[in-house]
Amino acid sequence: MSLQVVILAAGKGTRMRSALPKVMQPLAGKPLLQHVISTAKTLGANEPIVVYGHGGELVQQHFQHETVTWVLQAEQKGTGHAVQVALSSLPTSGNSLILYGDVPLISLPTLSRLVSSVSTDKDLGLLTVNLPNPTGYGRIVREENQVVAIVEQKDANADQLKINEVNTGIMCVPNVLLHEWLPALKNNNAQGEYYLTDLIALANQAGITISAVQPDTLWEVEGVNDKVQLAALERVWQQAQAANLMRAGVTILDPNRVDIRGELSHGADVSLDVGVIIEGRVVLADNVIVSAGCVLKDCEIGAGTLIKPYSVIDSAVIGANAQIGPFARIRPGSKLADEVHIGNFVETKATQMGVGSKANHLAYLGDSVIGQGVNIGAGTITCNYDGANKHTTVIGDNAFIGTNNSLVAPVTIGAGATTGAGSTISKDVAPDTLAVGRAKQVAISGWTRPKKTVKSST
Ligand code: UD1
Ligand code: CA
C-alpha cells in the first residue's frame, strides 16, 4: 500500500524561549525536522507533508532542497485539525503515517513494524508505550485487552489517570478513514481542541482492528519541548553514535564526551579523545589519533596521522603520518601531504604543503604552494592580501624560511633557497641562494632611556 507521511510541526515551541522555530533547533547538528524528513524518506514516503504554522518562511527556506509538501495550519486547533488541513493533499487510498516535527529520533525499525501492522482499510496502527509516570500523555483505554479509545490527561477520570500505557501520538491510518472521519471531529473536550486521538474510539466503533505497536526504545518517541529535553535527546543520540563506532572498532576514550554531528568513516584503530567534535563528512584512515578538544569538519586524514589537542580542521585533506597541533587551525583548501608537521598557533588556508614540510610554530600560510622538505620558521606570515586581491606564495622544495619572515605575495622562493630571520621578502628568491631583507643593526653608544616625568600635585 502506498504510504504518505504527515509531519505535524505547527506548534509554537514557546518553552524553547528562542527566536528559532522549535523544529529548526539543532540535534546532532541538524534541525529536528530534518531528522524526521530523512526518516520519512528512508521509509519510502518521498514527498512528506509538513503541517507548519510558526516561523514558516524560515523553515521552508531551509528545506528548499527537499521535496516536501507544505501545508499551513494558521491557527493551532489541535492535532486532529492539523491533519484535517492536510486532507486535500492526501490521496483517497493508501495509508498515512502521522509523525511529529519535535519527535526527532523515531527509528526506522519501529516505524516499519507500525506501518506493516496496517495491511487493509480495516486496520489502524498505534504506537504506544508504558510509562512509570504517564502524566501529561493521552491514556490508552482497553477493554478485554483491545484498544478502544484514547483519553487525554485533561479529560481523564481518576481510574483512567492510573493507566500506564500512553499514546506516543504516532499512528498509521488508512487514508479513506481520515477522509471520512477527520471532517466530523468535535472539539467538545477539556481543551476545546480537535483531537486526532478521537479517531481511535471511532475506529473501534466501526470495527477496525487497532494494533498497539511498541517502539524498540523509549527515547525514540520522546518529544522536545524545552532545551533540557533537547540536550537529553542529544546525549542519547550521541551515546548511540559512540556505541556504533566503538562496535566498529573505534577507540573512544569517553563515549559521553564525543559529539558526532555528521558522518564519520574510519579505518582500523582510530582513536578519539574527549571533547572531539565531528561535523559534515569526515574520513579518518587507519591509526589516526584525534586528541582532546579537536573539531574536525569535512576533512580527510591519512593513516597514522596524529592530531594533537585543540586543533580545528575544516574542509582540508591531510596525508599519512602527519602531525598537526596542538592548537593548529587548518582552514578550507588546505592540502597537507604525508609527514607534514604543523605546530602550535599555525594557520593554513588554501595552502598545499609537500611531503615532510614543517611549520612548527606561530605562522600564517595562506594561498601558498609549498614544496617538499620545506621548513617554515616560527612567526612567518604569508602576506597574501593587498586589501583588494589575494596573491600566491610559492616555495620550492627544501627551502628554509627563517624565523619571523613576511613573505609579500605574489612571490616565489626557489628550491633550496634560504631566507634570513626577520626578513621581509617582497622579491622572488632564486634557488639555492640566501636572501636577507631587513634593516641593518646599528649601535648607538651613550644613548639614554627616556625617564618618567614627575607630575606636580597642584
Ligand atoms: C498529544 C496527544 C496525546 C499524546 C501526546 C504525545 C492529541 C490530542 N494528544 O498530546 O495523546 O500522548 O501528544 O506527546 O493528539 N500540533 C500541530 N497543530 C496543532 C496542535 C499540535 O501541529 O494544532 C503538533 C505540535 O506541534 C506537536 C504535536 O502536534 O508537535 C503534539 O501537539 P501537543 O499539543 O503537544 O499534543 P499533546 O497535548 O502533547
Ligand atoms: Ca506534547
Domain locations in the chain as residue ranges: 3-221, 227-435
Residue 1's pLDDT is 77
Give the model confidence (pLDDT) of 350-375 as tens digits.
999 999 999 999 999 999 999 999 99
**Could you tell me the CA-to-CA distances from 9 to 36, 57, 69, 80, 95 in Å, in that order?**
10, 13, 13, 13, 20
Q: How close is the Cα of 223 to the center of ligand 2, in Å?
A: 7
Nearest CA to ligand 1 atom 36: 79
Give the active site residue among 54, 62, 179, 361: 361
Determine the 3-state secondary structure of 177 from DSSP: helix
Contact 277, 295 (CB under 8 A): yes
Q: How close is the Cα of 11 to the center of ligand 1, in Å?
A: 8
Atom of ligand 1 nearest to the CA of 198: 8
Is the peptide bond between 450 and the residue preceding it cis, with omega within 30 degrees of 0? no
Q: How close is the Cα of 129 to the center of ligand 2, in Å?
A: 15
CATH 1.10.760.10 fits 227-435, yes or no: no
> What size, in residues, is the chain?
458
Q: How far apart are CA 389 and CA 184, in angstroms?
A: 67
Atom of ligand 1 nearest to the CA of 138: 11
CATH 3.90.550.10 fits 3-221, yes or no: yes
Q: At what angle do helices 32-42 and 108-116 cross, to 10 degrees?
A: 50
Residue 341 CB contacts under 8 Å (≥ 6 apart), including other chains: 322, 323, 324, 357, 358, 359, 360
Q: How far apart are CA 354 and CA 375, in angstroms?
A: 11
Paired with 324 in beta bridges are 307, 342
Q: How close is the Cα of 10 to the center of ligand 1, in Å?
A: 10
Residue 12's pLDDT is 81
Give the model confidence (pLDDT) of 164-176 as tens digits.
999 999 999 999 9
Weakest mean pLDDT among 266-270, 358-362, 413-417, 452-456: 452-456
Atom of ligand 1 nearest to the CA of 152: 11
* pLDDT tier for residue 458 given thresholds of 50, 70 and 90: low
Atom of ligand 1 nearest to the CA of 77: 23
Which of 72, 79, 98, when mutated, tests ligand 1's pocket best, judged by the most ligand atoms within 8 Å of its CB? 79
The alpha-helical segments, DSSP class H, found in 6-123 are 32-42, 56-62, 79-85, 108-116
Annotated catalytic residue 341: no
Nearest CA to ligand 1 atom 26: 11
Nearest CA to ligand 1 atom 2: 169
Residue 278's pLDDT is 98
Residue 339 one-letter amino acid = E
Residue 9 CB contacts under 8 Å (≥ 6 apart), including other chains: 22, 23, 33, 50, 51, 52, 53, 59, 100, 101, 102
Residue 48's pLDDT is 97
Residue 387 CB contacts under 8 Å (≥ 6 apart), including other chains: none
Give the model confidence (pLDDT) of 71-119 as tens digits.
999 999 999 999 999 999 999 999 999 999 999 999 999 999 999 999 9
Please give the share of the chain, as a percent, with pLDDT higher than 90: 95
Determine the 3-state secondary structure of 80 from DSSP: helix
Contact 7, 48 (CB under 8 A): yes
The pTM (predicted TM-score) of the whole model is: 0.92
Residue 455's pLDDT is 85
Residue 9 one-letter amino acid = A
Which whole number is the average pLDDT over 1-10? 94
Beta-carbon neighbour count of residue 2 at 10 Å?
A: 11
Average pLDDT over the chain, rounded to an integer? 97
Nearest CA to ligand 1 atom 3: 138
Instruction: Give the ligand at the shortest distance from the Cα of 197.
Output: 1
What residues are in contact with ligand 1 under a 6 Å CB criterion?
8-11, 51, 73, 76-79, 81-82, 100-102, 137-138, 150, 152, 166-169, 195-197, 223
Give the model confidence (pLDDT) of 202-233 as tens digits.
999 999 999 999 999 999 999 999 999 999 99
